[in-house]
Structure 1
Amino acid sequence: MNQKIRISLTQLEKSITHAERIAYSKMSLDEVLSLPPGKKVSFFASLRVKHKKLEEGEALFRHFLETPSDNKIVGLIGPTGSGKTAFYESVVSPMVEGDPGEFPTLMVPAFAFGNSRTVFSGILRQILRVANEVSISEKRGVRVSDGRAIVIPRGLDGLRDAVTKMLKNRRVRVLAIDEFFHMVRYSDLDALMDAVKSLADDTYGFLMPIGGPSLIKFLTHNGEIDRRSESIYLGRYTKTEENQARVLLAAGRGGTDKYPPFESIVRKLQAKWPMEDVPQFHLMMDEIFDVTHGLVGLLKSLLTRCLIYQINNDGVWNHSFFAKSTKSKRALETLLEEIEKGETTMKEEQYGEPNFTKMQLEVISKKLVTKRRTKSESHPATEV
């Protein structure tokens, strides 16, 4: 009998390296089926599924990245299990390129305890640590005043100066701060806003706070932050969307899609099941919606737990594993409250609302035309 697998899914996700994900993605089915039990779990946990909402977020991030603007803050927002970390790893990090010696993207976890000063010094140390800086506790800053170099003492000022230099020298294009709500919770709001503006100005590209729907309130609380920020919201799939897609597919109007969006994700993960006996999860979409609320990250965790149960049962599937792998009723209710509150906030803040209606855009297209210059025209004046 194989040794039972007992593992934290959160720790497992964090432990899988980018190189391992690439290696797993190149494996054939026979190679996957021959993996030892623990590696099968790692293989499944490493999977990144392309889907509609992920692609929408990817297109939006590419727009922010490639469009000239004054925006220096891009919030990555979504409820628990919406795939924020996966979005950073599969979209943000690969899309942002840098030269050798640079750190195009950095992700640091926010401190979950302390007061304003310890939270600020903690996040500065985290940034330097993730960037592989040395002798962090000895960091001092140096400023030039009236032609003289002035050494800044060790402490918060020295750390701040060291981070500023590192961000600019390494040309960091995205500085992501995960679980950003910890900083909001333990900080004076005005001081935090000043710190966020300063960090954003020091990055070569964007500061990316990552957190739940409550983060949108911080990003829109103050005009100085609001005018510098944009947001990417990773939402859920709903039964209504799924049923509408199913109707279109039945009528032959589904385009290139073969299945409704959330069922398609389930089928993709099911196709990668690293066992001989494959549970047919796609036959119970209603139940899966009930226990995942249409969140891709929650779906992935659910199926990974199912896999562990099957492996620990010598590879034999039992339908009870599905119920055992779901979160408690109270936890799911709490999560749904968070989701619905976030969706209400998004609506109140008019997130995703275009500036112009379709009709207005049609009017603009007729008004805003080009006129080709003729050789007989005089050169436009240099002063207006």
Structure 2
Amino acid sequence: MDAQDFSRLAREISPEDRLRYARLSREQAYALSPEEKLRFFFSIHVKHAKLMTVKKKIDRCLRKFSEERIITLIGPTGAGKSAFAEYFLGAELASEDTGKVPFILIKVPALGRRTIPWSGFYRAILHGGHEPLIDSKRASLIQDGRLQTVLASQKASLESLYGAVVSMLRNRGTVLLALDEAFHLLRSGDPVVVMDAIKSMADAAS
């Protein structure tokens, strides 16, 4: 394999792969195929002392009776924020119960526009939580004095998608919804509206 192949291999490792590798014993790692051993190697991150200090502080914020709902992790590019969220927080919060999703990580793209496509944002969260039948989600509303339902696949879908996100966070036992590069949201939309949306989702997480 050349350098390009190694780079491609490293990029293809998903957060789920990192969590799976983190749970392997030494004997199980030795038993992997040669290519899987390379993937395992690239999934390893060094536990930096300062990141461990950050982890202890976040652990306190995630305790059951903590009043903290929104946690901001700030640092320069390449400091290890994304790897910290994927590897350390994700591995610690991983659950053996397939019906539970304690940790969801969403990578917020640089949208290059002034408005946020909330529909795509909510869908990304639902996909991150492995929610099935996303386009079949329904929201109930009163219109012209009549009770109506709106499918997520329809144009006016934000209510149904948002309701599905809140329901999923509650029912899947989500403890932490991590938004990687969340600054892109604040830069692309009204900060007050963005923070209200994030706060409502944070309140829904257990």
- Bin the TM-score by the shorter chain: 0.7 to 0.9
CA distance in 2 between partners of 1:143 and 1:51 (Å): 50
Aligned twin of 1:276? none
Q: CA deviation at 1:39?
A: 5.2
Q: Does 1:59 align with 2:60?
A: no
Aligned twin of 2:189? 187
Off by >4 Å, runs of 4+ in structure 1? 38-41
Q: What TM-score comes out, normalization by structure 1 length?
A: 0.44
Q: CA deviation at 1:66?
A: 2.5
The sequence identity of aligned pairs, in percent, is 32
Corresponding residue to 1:75 among 67, 72, 75:
72
Q: Does 1:126 align with 2:124?
A: yes
CA distance in 1 between partners of 2:66 and 2:137 (Å): 33
Larger Rg over CA atoms: 1
RMSD between aligned alpha carbons? Answer: 3.2
> Number of matched residues?
194
Aligned twin of 1:19? 20
Q: CA deviation at 1:80?
A: 1.4
Taking a change above 3 Å as real, the CA distance of residues 172 and 43 of structure 1, as seen in their structure-2 partners, is closer
CA distance in 2 between partners of 1:198 and 1:6 (Å): 43
**Structure 2 portions without partners, runs of 5+:** none
Question: What amino acid is the match of 2:14?
Answer: K
C-alpha deviations, 1:70-94, integer Å up to 9, x for none?
A: 2210112221111112222333223
Taking a change above 3 Å as real, the CA distance of residues 178 and 136 of structure 1, as seen in their structure-2 partners, is same
Q: CA deviation at 1:177?
A: 1.0
Question: What amino acid is the match of 1:173?
Answer: V
Question: What amino acid is the match of 2:19?
Answer: H
Aligned twin of 1:116? 115
CA distance in 2 between partners of 1:171 and 1:125 (Å): 18
Aligned twin of 1:367? none
Corresponding residue to 1:95 among 86, 92, 99:
92
CA distance in 2 between partners of 1:63 and 1:192 (Å): 25
Aligned twin of 1:164? 166
Question: What amino acid is the match of 1:74?
Answer: I
The answer to whether the 8 Å contact 2:103/2:174 transfers is: yes
Taking a change above 3 Å as real, the CA distance of residues 40 and 19 of structure 1, as seen in their structure-2 partners, is closer
Q: CA deviation at 1:159?
A: 0.6
Taking a change above 3 Å as real, the CA distance of residues 108 and 87 of structure 1, as seen in their structure-2 partners, is same
Taking a change above 3 Å as real, the CA distance of residues 143 and 104 of structure 1, as seen in their structure-2 partners, is farther
CA distance in 1 between partners of 2:114 and 2:137 (Å): 21
**Structure 1 portions without partners, runs of 5+:** 205-384
Q: CA deviation at 1:67?
A: 7.0
Question: What amino acid is the match of 2:122?
Answer: L
